[in-house]
Structure 1
Amino acid sequence: MSRMLIALAAMFLQQTFASVGKVLPAVLAPLVIAELHADPAWVGVYYGTSAAASLVAQMGCGSFIVRNGALRMSQVALVLLGGGMAVAAEGSLPGFAASAIIGGGGAAVSTPTSSQLLYKVSPPRLAPLIFSIKQTAVPAGLLICGFLGPAMAAALGWRGAVLAIAAACVAFAAALQPLRARFDDDRVPSRRFRFADFRATIASVVRAPDLRGLSLACFAFNGVQSVFTAYFVTYLVALGYELSAAGFLFSVVVAVAVPCRVLWGWVGSFHLAPRLVMAGLALGMAGSIAVTGRFTAAWPMAAMGLVGAMLSATAMSWHGILLSETARLAPAGSAGAVTGGVLSFGQIGALLGPFAFSLLLRLTGGYGAGWAVCIIPALWVGFSLLCQRVPRESVIRSGTTRPTLG
């Protein structure tokens, strides 16, 4: 048990640093834009470039995790993230482009590595709960960055804030070193990276029906989450609310995701099959989106906050239970690689979701069509998971076996 708790604490902190590093540029963007006299659209370019780098990194990280060990690759992810932020502190647009590639690609590896390590040390029955606790690090990182980022920038300047977080990432990577012998005892030094690994990673999740279903769920869930985080505040402002009020409401509803991630993991560990929990989240997501699309200026903020909290409880809270199922279904020793493959579909959803929403907003001049389209993948995933036939359900719930990919 102590080994599991040490691993959980290490991966929670690793994921927190990754979350802080990924969101810090957005928090400091107004200061950077003002100094560089840059177009605000470059923020979107930065995160689009980062998402593309994340997609490549998650598709290709499997061999590196097997060869070097999950703990070592967690360290590498933190060092790359810190290095990327240090490059951004140079303060030029090319520097930010390089930062998006280096830091974005590095941060993206943090989830597959933590999945590989945690599944190895977690009791199978507790895996949904353990993974969900670890994934609360992401919203925790968002909240920490939201509070500390502006304060650090005020005290140190935006460059100083970026360099301070970069140094913290590298320092924590070094702090993980004493744990390496304990957790990387399963690495395979003879494993080599091949470009064919990209194709093999995608094939491994597309050919297996259960993993294919999780990949499509990740695509839909991450797409809806990206639309929610990108447009919810803007949507409220368009309805007539002040930016400060809309931003405060968004912060409150996002905070709901922290306990909900743990709650869904507990339900998936002790009360319902994870597949059914994800189906419920998908259907709840669809219902919340449908109501969100019907907001008007006459709605009281409390009502909007309640609906937003329901959307956050579903669209922002699925990660741990989906990742634990992905690790359970992966062949032995391949949890990191398979997780990267499933998450790559999520990255595609994160790219296409906001793009489709933006296109519909431009074509229709309103937000309703964009929210309506988001309902479709959520509904489809919900009913697909409900109707999915899962063989040997009792074995799956006990978590005593792993399938093989054919």
Structure 2
Amino acid sequence: MSVNSGVVMPVAAMLAAQAVLSMATVTLPVLAPAVVAESGPPFSWLGLYVALIYATSMASGLISGALVRRWGALRLSQLCLLSACAGACLLGTGHVAGMAAAAVMLGMGYGPLNPASSHLLNRVASPHHRSKIFSLKQTGVPLGAVLAGALLPPLVLWGGWRVAVWVVAGTCAMLALALQPLRAAFDTDRQAGARVGLDSLAEPARMALADPALRPLAFSSFCYAALQLCLGTYLVTYLTTEQGYSLVQAGLTLAVTQAAGIAGRLVSGDLADRSGEPRRVMGAMGCLMGLCAFVSAFAGAWPTPLLLLLYAVFGASAIGWNGVYLAEVARRAPAGAVSVATAGALFVTFAGVLAGPPAFSFMVLAGMSYGAAFMAFAAPALLCGLALMRRTRRQAG
């Protein structure tokens, strides 16, 4: 992909913000065994914690279009990072109430970031490279999880889990400060007097669901996101409690999964731009992630290299679709309303995130194994993938 200097800096800034916020949101799932061993809630509460993050993300995301107009995408991204910093600090209290408050603050930061970054990147992206650029920025999500999985467990061994949490909080604050010199160039389209009211909450959902071409993608994103978040939330616990992995080994497996997700996002973005069929690319990813989720329930006795290969493919598919999805939303959004349309589309996506981990938790509490719970989430993703590919073939015909 050839890029000009006007694209590099916005992509780098939004990629960094996405990675750091992603690292903050997965901090507790990665550190869960160490936190629970000291004084934390049981493992089954992880799903509720993640659900609270994304419930808050859904609400805060709806207002993001109006906030982008008023403050600018860069300023809103800085505020998102500072909110995540506050959330990490609250997480360090080790109390259930502090963790709940941490989830709210993390969600307030995570929800508006994608609409803000989509607004900014759509201004500089060539239509022929939109999926690549959006997918490149979206690699920040698995990149943040890679950093969390690879760096946080060793920090726990060195200084305890609270030290790891303070490092995350400091990283969020430092990046927010580092982005300040870019604001004058990035927020030239902000409207200081733009109104932010209750009607701003309904506008995004109305815009996203009014487009019949986007509705199947939005529904698929619900199922894909549910499986993606269950993979990121429960993989470490699954491997340590049912497969006999150590925390460091499980963390490194998560890092491999998320690293493969980075490759998956880059490859899917390139395929979508080259083929001109983003729906077919999203359909193929759904089929692949569903198959991997099913097989993972039977792979515990596999040799380590084969197990890592399975989770690499699982990560590449379950994490690799988001950039193509956001680029397609931006392509179909009305002029000047990319952040609003993205907020509406992500409301549906985050609903899948909100439903997935708690449902997974309830399955485990009801007596299902983690492997069986992954199988239960495989079917919807696989069916959505097949439906998208079939719909694409019909449209082509």
Residue identity matched to 2:280:
L
User: Which of residues 245, 253, 256 is equivalent to 2:257?
Assistant: 253
Deviates more, 1:316-325 or 1:227-236: 227-236
Preserved CA contact (<8 Å) 1:60 1:197: yes
- Of residues 57, 66, 83, the one that matches 1:54 is 57
Q: Is the 8 A contact 1:230 1:354 kept in 2?
A: yes
String of CA shifts for 1:173-229, please: whole Å, max 9, x gaps: 122122222121222333222223222221211121122222112101101112223
Distance in 2 (CA, whole Å) between partners of 1:115 and 1:316 is: 18
Q: What is the alpha-carbon distance in structure 1 between the residues aligned to residue 29 and residue 240 of structure 2? A: 19
Contact 2:283 2:389 in 1 (8 A): yes
Flag the 1:158–1:283 CA change in 2: closer, same or farther, 3 A: closer
Please identify runs of 4+ aligned residues in structure 1 that moved more than 6 A. Answer: 389-393
Within the alignment, does 1:330 sit opposite 2:338 as a pair? Answer: no
Q: Distance in 2 between matches of 1:176 and 1:8?
A: 12
Q: Which moved more, 1:381-390 or 1:329-338?
A: 381-390
Does 1:75 pair with 2:39?
Answer: no
Are the equivalent residues in 1 in contact too, given 2:130–2:327 (CA < 8 A)?
yes
Higher mean C-alpha deviation, range 4-13 or range 51-60: 51-60
The Cα offsets for residues 303-324 of structure 1, whole Å up to 9 and x where unpaired, read as: 4333322221211111111111
What is the distance in 2 between the residues matched to 1:208 and 1:37? Answer: 44
How far 1:360 moved relative to its partner?
A: 4.2
Q: 2:51 corresponds to which letter in structure 1? A: G
1:154: how far off?
5.4
Give the aligned partner of residue 386 of structure 2.
383
CA-CA distance at 1:288 after TM superposition: 2.5
SS in 2 for 1:76: helix
TM-score (structure 2 length as normaliser): 0.87
| Structure 1: stretches of 5+ with no match in the other structure | 394-406
Residues 1:5 and 1:372: Cα distance change in structure 2 (over 3 Å): same
Contact (CA 8 Å) 1:49, 1:100: kept in 2 or not? Answer: yes
1:112 corresponds to: 115
Deviation at 1:113, TM superposition (A): 1.1
| TM-score of the superposed pair, with normalisation by structure 1 | 0.86
Corresponding residue for residue 272 of structure 2: 268
Matched, 1:179 2:182: yes
Listed one character per residue, the Cα deviations across residues 91-115 of structure 1 (whole Å, up to 9, x for unaligned) are 5433332222122211232222111
Identity between Structure 1 and Structure 2 (%): 34
Q: Secondary structure at the match of 2:271?
A: helix
Give me the whole-angstrom Cα distance separating, in 2, the residues matched to 1:54 and 1:148.
Answer: 26
**Alpha-carbon distance, 1:2 to partner:** 0.9
For 2:202 and 2:378, how far apart are their aligned partners in 1?
A: 31
Q: Which runs of 5+ in 2 are unaligned?
A: none
Q: For 2:259 and 2:67, how far apart are their aligned partners in 1? A: 34
- Give me the whole-angstrom Cα distance separating, in 1, the residues matched to 2:301 and 2:158: 41
Residues paired across the two proteins, number: 392
3-state DSSP of counterpart to 1:189:
coil
Q: Counterparts of 1:3 and 1:191 in 2: how far apart (Å)?
A: 26
2:308 aligns to what?
A: 305
Do the aligned residues in 1 keep the contact of 2:26 with 2:233 (CA within 8 Å)? no
- Given that 2:145 and 2:255 are in contact with CA atoms closer than 8 Å, whether structure 1 keeps it comes out as no
- Contact 1:233–1:243 (CA under 8 A) maintained in structure 2: no
Q: In structure 2, how many angstroms separate the alpha carbons of the residues matched to 1:298 and 1:40?
A: 23
Q: Give 2:289's aligned amino acid.
A: M
Residue matched to 2:145 = 142
Matched, 1:314 2:334: no
What are the Cα deviations for residues 123-169 of structure 1, in whole angstroms up to 9, with x where unaligned? 11111111111111222212222333244455565444433432332
Instruction: Report SS of the residue matched to 1:256.
Output: helix
Given the superposition, is the C-alpha separation of residues 327 and 28 from structure 1 closer, same or farther in structure 2, using an over 3 Å criterion? same
Q: CA offset at residue 296 of structure 1?
A: 5.5
1:163-178 alignment runs, 5 A limit: 163-178=166-181
Query: What one-letter code is carried by the residue in structure 1 that aligns with 2:58?
Result: L
Q: 1:348 maps to what in 2? A: 351
